[in-house]
Amino acid sequence: MTTAPKPRAERRAFTLSDAVAEFGRHPSPWMIGAVLTGALAARGVVGDWRVTDAVVPLAMLAVFPFFEWLVHVFVLHWRPRRVGAVTVDSLLARKHREHHVDPRNVPLIFIPWRALLWVLPLASAIAVFAFPRISLGLTFLVFLAILGLAYEWCHYLIHSDYKPKSALYRAVWRNHRHHHFKNEHYWFTVTTTGTADRVLGTYPDPAAVPASPTAKNLHGATTGR
């Protein structure tokens, strides 16, 4: 007498709680979060609230998609160059090429923590020295850290197994996946649905764009560490 095969157990869906738990296992959100906590505390102590403390975050929110586009195009997609005997190739560019090779490798989704060792102090120095009031600089630093965490979360979620549910998230998810799996020369924004891409001419109709042979191997380069 033969026994019927056991039904295959269904794979449990990857939930938002799962995503939050995984997000918290990586250093860059904690590093950015520490700067946010410190900046918030300092901002509360300093006080001196003015109208410009509302203007600065609004301006940063408007500029951020274009900043994101510029960094993605000119820093992350930097093509290694030889200057004499030296190859100019940053850690950010190298890690981003590795990310394109293996978009599901979770540690490679995040901003490299070694890069944050100089990026975060630089941002803090700008906040302290580049503004006419320390209070306004701290407002800038608080909102910059919030934008940084939002970027890390959005980028991680897109590459995770979490399935889009809202129309807005589906659009953001689809936009970035076109960049990774269709053609790396377009769709450079991550946290918005092609805002800067639409303005800067990198938001074509996906059906009209040929698949790129180097989407997973930027510039046809190797991914040296």
**pLDDT at position 30, please?**
98
Q: Please say if the pLDDT value at position 45 is more than 70.
A: yes
Beta-bridge partner residues of 135 = none
pLDDT beyond 90 at 97: yes
| Cα(93)–Cα(87) distance, integer angstroms | 12
Query: How far is it, in rounded angstroms, from Cα 5 to Cα 116?
Result: 52
Is residue 2 a part of any domain in this protein?
A: no
What average pLDDT does this structure show over 31-50? 97
Of 225, 219, 216, 192, nearest to 103 by C-alpha is 216
What pLDDT is recorded for position 139?
A: 97
Q: For residue 113, what are the contacts with CB-CB under 8 A and spacing of at least 6?
A: 27, 28, 31
Q: What is the CA radius of gyration of the chain?
A: 21
Are the C-beta atoms of residues 122 and 106 closer than 8 Å to each other? Answer: no
**Residue at 158 is within a domain:** yes
Residue 99: inside a domain: yes
Phi, psi of 206 (to 5 degrees): -55, -30
Does residue 225 carry a pLDDT above 50? no
Q: What is the mean pLDDT of residues 128-152?
A: 97
What is the chain's mean pLDDT, rounded? Answer: 92
| Domain assignment present for 72 | yes
**Region of poorest pLDDT, from 83-92, 94-103, 107-116, 196-205:** 83-92
In a domain, 7, yes or no: no
- Is the pTM higher than 0.95? The answer reads no
Cα–Cα distance for residue pair 81/87, rounded to 1 Å: 6
126 within some domain:
yes
Asked whether residue 1 is assigned to any structural domain, the reply reads no
Q: How many domains are there within the chain? A: 1
Helix (H, G, I), strand (E, B) or coil at 166: coil
Q: pLDDT tens digit string along 57-80?
A: 999 999 999 999 999 999 999 999
Q: SS3 of 12, please?
A: coil
pLDDT in tens, 175-222: 999 999 999 999 999 999 879 999 999 999 999 999 999 999 998 865
* Interatomic CA distance for residues 81 and 62, integer angstroms: 33
Distance CA 223, CA 157 (A): 24
Residue at 182 is within a domain:
yes
| Backbone phi, psi, residue 81, to 5° | -125, 145
Q: Is 188 helix (H, G, I), strand (E, B) or coil?
A: coil
Whether 223 shows a pLDDT value over 60: the answer reads: no
Mean pLDDT of 142-150: 98
Q: Which domain holds residue 168?
A: 16-219
